Amino acid sequence: MKNTYSLSYLPIISILLFSLYFAVYGAVQLDNH
């Protein structure tokens, strides 16, 4: 039961990491300009 519970959290964590990476990438691009 605990395994499926943590598995359902995986997409949320992956989306959070992706948005964080995108924010950092955008900040670097603005800084380069």
Residue 21: name the closest of 29, 32, 31 by CA: 29
In angstroms, the first-to-last Cα distance of the chain is: 50
With residues binned 3-state (H G I as helix, E B as strand, rest as coil), the percentages for the chain, rounded to 5, are 95, 0, 5
Q: In one letter, which amino acid is 32?
A: N
pLDDT tens-digit map of 6-30: 788 899 999 999 999 999 999 999 8
All structural domains of the chain with their residue ranges: 1-33
Structure tokens at 6: 């943590």
Band of the pLDDT at 1, cuts 50, 70, 90?
low
Q: Which position has the higher pLDDT, 20 or 4?
A: 20
User: What predicted TM-score, i.e. pTM, was given to this entire model?
Assistant: 0.58
Q: Which position has the higher pLDDT, 3 or 16?
A: 16
